[in-house]
Chain A
Amino acid sequence: MKSTQKQGGQLPLVLFLVFISLVLIIVFASFGSVKVEAKDVFLSLIGRQENEIYKNLIVNIRLPRVIGTFLVGAILAVSGNVLQLLVQNPLADPYMLGISSGASFGAVLYTALNSIYGFTLFLGLEGFSFLFAVLSTFIVLIIARQGKKLPILSLILSGVIVSFLFNSFTTLFTVMYWKNLIHVNLWLMGSTGNLAWSSNLKLLIILLVQFFIVLIFSKELNVLAMGEEMAVYSGINPESIKMLLILTTVLSVSFTVSQVGIIGFVGLIIPHIVRMIKGPYSFISNLYSVFFGGIFLMFADFLARTLFAPTELPIGVVTSIVGAPIFIYVMRRKERL
């Protein structure tokens, strides 16, 4: 690998990926219950669409969904990459810190309170799942903390334990009130169908902030990925940087989950594939995770919408069906991490 590949010299390829992403956004936006020509999507995009129905369909329904899906995929992939580098474990994923179990519990709890006891809580389903995702992660971090340190192994273990705990409560609620909770289960398996421009704006801001922080600390993240002792040898306080990067990741993923439910495998597999192609160098692998994650999830969403149309599959099911074989393949040639 030439050293330029670790640093500069990325511009042509990145521009190419930007271009491909834009083309794919237009292509995927043209599919759905009503097929729209890519040309019409493009015309709507630049504000030249005269057919009001098309315009409404594309600008208010299709585009926000496709673009939002890209953003979600990008956030999940970058988060996965940061966490894998940080805990030096290529099998880590953004949900390992208890985010998904916390979010599920929050969603189920809200639905139970709302539909059974008739409370209408001002935070809504999204707010509840976000809060509980953050809460469960904080519990994980508190349990894992030893003195001022946050050892990786205890982080992984407490993640597993807290996830079990929250999942049991979720199951308990589901068993007790199962009739009312079926739609929550569907929501939990993920869907980007409800994404609107307003949430896309928030997702975009989150992605930009996250990417900016990762960019500023890219050297530190590289050193941490070589081990905490290496960080100390290189004059870096491993604990504070680890904490900052974990917090950024947790907040980003929790918000994303609250918007679209739990979409697995993107944060696990995409970073893997990116590092196989581009190496682990943090700036590069995060940059490419944005595009690979976004494109992968747009594709998964496309399959979810069209495979059994007019029925829509939960996108989490598609990513798992596509992702699991890739994951097994990658694991089996694990000499290359």
Chain B
Amino acid sequence: MINIDKLKFTYNNGFSLNVDELDVKKGDIVSIIGPNGAGKSTLIKIISKILKNYTGRIMIEDKELSNYSYKEISRKIAIVPQEFNTTFEYDVESVISTARLPYSRRFSFFETQEDKKIINEVLELVGLVKYKNKPFSLLSGGEKQKVMIARAFAQKTPILLLDEFSSHLDPGYTQNLLKLVKTMAEKERKTVLAIFHDINSAALFSDKIVVMKDGEIKYQGSPKEVFKESIMKEIFDIEVYIIEHPLNKIPQILYK
């Protein structure tokens, strides 16, 4: 679904990203972990066509990314950005309705009935129905994240890119939304690439974990393969103890 080959990208100020190889198969749920400034968001921004001057190859469903128009790619990929806010007082509904633009025709000025139905459904999913006509800019950080998740669902794409989508959520909602995204993804065979800072959530959430540092992928594999004390020490410079989750046998980290 997403195949990256010898990707190279450099910011003006010198940071450079080098991804030799990354393959995400259809229906896979893949997490990216790594320290601040590792280049995780940069990678997501390249795949979402925000950053463009890269070299190498990025195939999305067997077609090179640069051959997609903005509209075409927005029907394939939905994004939950790390940070998002609005200057003006647009309400929650209008923020979510932008996810329906990839399907709108010129000279159709207002949302269709189908759009409205979808917007209500996704608001229901994240439990924000009563916020529908509240100004987005006045929501709390976690509420904004929920809206952006709802927005990404409303875009009805086969691929989801999530940049720390649970970083502002309380523990209950983190669990709730992790499960929700996972169930949605499995039910609709969505391909998910998600950045996490909470390493344990990453292990519970995904089939495969990609470990990035200094603009490169250092390790990738199943949670069992990459959850090693030595790797955690090397990447994050933390002392950890790794145990197995008693219920689902997934490795988890305890901080020493």
Taking Cβ atoms with an 8 Å cutoff, the residues of A that contact B are: 1-3, 6-8, 85, 88-90, 215-216, 218-220, 222-223, 225-227, 229-230, 232-237, 275, 279-281, 283, 336-337
Inter-chain contacts of A280 with B (CB < 8 A): 88-90
- Top 5 nearest A-B pairs by Cβ distance? A235-B74, A280-B88, A235-B102, A235-B71, A234-B101
Q: Do B89 and A230 touch across chains, with their CB atoms under 8 A apart?
A: no
Q: Smallest Cβ distance from B193 to chain A, in angstroms?
A: 15
Q: Do A2 and B109 touch across chains, with their CB atoms under 8 A apart?
A: no
Within the complex, which residue of A85, A89, A233 is in contact with B74, where a contact is CB–CB below 8 Å?
Answer: A233
Q: Do A225 and B88 touch across chains, with their CB atoms under 8 A apart?
A: yes
Q: Is B177 an interface residue (CB 8 A)?
A: no
Inter-chain contacts of B86 with A (CB < 8 A): 225-227
CA distance A283 to B87 in the complex (A): 18
Q: Do A275 and B84 touch across chains, with their CB atoms under 8 A apart?
A: no
Q: Do A89 and B70 touch across chains, with their CB atoms under 8 A apart?
A: no
Inter-chain contacts of B79 with A (CB < 8 A): 233
Count of A-B residue pairs with CB < 8 Å = 94
Q: Is B27 an interface residue (CB 8 A)?
A: no
With A232-B48, A233-B78, A233-B98 as contacts: A222 and B90 at CB distance below 8 Å: yes
Q: List 21 A-B contacts (CB under 8 A).
A: A1-B133, A2-B133, A3-B132, A7-B111, A85-B88, A88-B87, A219-B109, A222-B94, A222-B98, A226-B95, A226-B98, A230-B98, A233-B98, A235-B70, A235-B71, A236-B74, A237-B69, A280-B90, A281-B94, A283-B109, A337-B88
Q: Smallest Cβ distance from B9 to chain A, in angstroms?
A: 15
Q: Do B107 and A216 touch across chains, with their CB atoms under 8 A apart?
A: yes
Inter-chain contacts of B91 with A (CB < 8 A): 1, 6, 279
Q: Do A236 and B88 touch across chains, with their CB atoms under 8 A apart?
A: no
CA distance A6 to B93 in the complex (A): 10
Q: Do A225 and B90 touch across chains, with their CB atoms under 8 A apart?
A: yes
Within the complex, which residue of A6, A215, A232, A337 is in contact with B94, where a contact is CB–CB below 8 Å?
Answer: A6
CA distance A279 to B106 in the complex (A): 23
CA distance A218 to B109 in the complex (A): 7
What bracket does the count of chain B residues touching chain A fall in? 35 or more
Q: Smallest Cβ distance from B145 to chain A, in angstroms?
A: 15
Inter-chain contacts of A3 with B (CB < 8 A): 93, 132-133
Q: Smallest Cβ distance from A82 to chain B, in angstroms?
A: 13
**Additional A-B contact list (17), CB under 8 Å, known A222-B90, A232-B48:** A1-B91, A1-B133, A6-B91, A85-B88, A88-B88, A219-B101, A219-B104, A219-B109, A226-B95, A226-B98, A230-B98, A232-B70, A233-B48, A233-B78, A275-B89, A281-B90, A337-B88
Q: Is B33 an interface residue (CB 8 A)?
A: no
| Centre residue among A85, A219, A233, A237 by max chain B CB count within 10 A | A233
Taking Cβ atoms with an 8 Å cutoff, the residues of B that contact A are: 48-50, 69-75, 78-79, 81, 84, 86-91, 93-95, 98-99, 101-102, 104, 106-107, 109-111, 132-133
Q: Which of chain B's residues has its CB closest to A1's CB?
A: B133
Within the complex, which residue of B48, B75, B87, B111 is in contact with A337, where a contact is CB–CB below 8 Å?
Answer: B87
Q: Which of chain B's residues has its CB closest to A84's CB?
A: B88
With A280-B88, A283-B109 as contacts: A236 and B94 at CB distance below 8 Å: no
Q: Do A235 and B75 touch across chains, with their CB atoms under 8 A apart?
A: yes
Inter-chain contacts of B49 with A (CB < 8 A): 232
Inter-chain contacts of B87 with A (CB < 8 A): 88-90, 225, 337
Inter-chain contacts of A275 with B (CB < 8 A): 88-89
| Centre residue among B73, B74, B91, B101 by max chain A CB count within 10 A | B101
Inter-chain contacts of A219 with B (CB < 8 A): 101, 104, 109
Inter-chain contacts of A215 with B (CB < 8 A): 109
CA distance A226 to B86 in the complex (A): 5
Q: Do B90 and A226 touch across chains, with their CB atoms under 8 A apart?
A: yes
CA distance A236 to B89 in the complex (A): 21
Inter-chain contacts of A89 with B (CB < 8 A): 87
Within the complex, which residue of A7, A216, A236 is in contact with B101, where a contact is CB–CB below 8 Å?
Answer: A236
CA distance A219 to B109 in the complex (A): 7
With A229-B50, A233-B79, A235-B70 as contacts: A336 and B98 at CB distance below 8 Å: no
Q: Do A235 and B101 touch across chains, with their CB atoms under 8 A apart?
A: yes
Q: Do B93 and A227 touch across chains, with their CB atoms under 8 A apart?
A: no
Q: Do A237 and B88 touch across chains, with their CB atoms under 8 A apart?
A: no
CA distance A225 to B74 in the complex (A): 18
Inter-chain contacts of B70 with A (CB < 8 A): 232, 235-237
Inter-chain contacts of A279 with B (CB < 8 A): 89-91
Inter-chain contacts of B84 with A (CB < 8 A): 227, 229-230
CA distance A253 to B95 in the complex (A): 30
Q: Which of chain A's residues has its CB closest to B85's CB?
A: A227
Q: Do A234 and B110 touch across chains, with their CB atoms under 8 A apart?
A: no
Q: Which of chain A's residues has its CB closest to B79's CB?
A: A233
Within the complex, which residue of A88, A222, A235 is in contact with B73, where a contact is CB–CB below 8 Å?
Answer: A235
Q: Which of chain B's residues has its CB closest to A281's CB?
A: B94
CA distance A281 to B135 in the complex (A): 12
| Centre residue among A3, A235, A236, A237 by max chain B CB count within 10 A | A235
CA distance A236 to B70 in the complex (A): 6
Q: Smallest Cβ distance from A303 to chain B, in angstroms?
A: 31
CA distance A237 to B68 in the complex (A): 12
Inter-chain contacts of B78 with A (CB < 8 A): 233
Q: Do A8 and B90 touch across chains, with their CB atoms under 8 A apart?
A: no
Q: Do B99 and A234 touch across chains, with their CB atoms under 8 A apart?
A: yes
Q: Which of chain A's residues has its CB closest to B72's CB?
A: A235
Q: Do B102 and A234 touch across chains, with their CB atoms under 8 A apart?
A: yes
CA distance A1 to B132 in the complex (A): 10
Q: Smallest Cβ distance from B114 to chain A, in angstroms?
A: 15
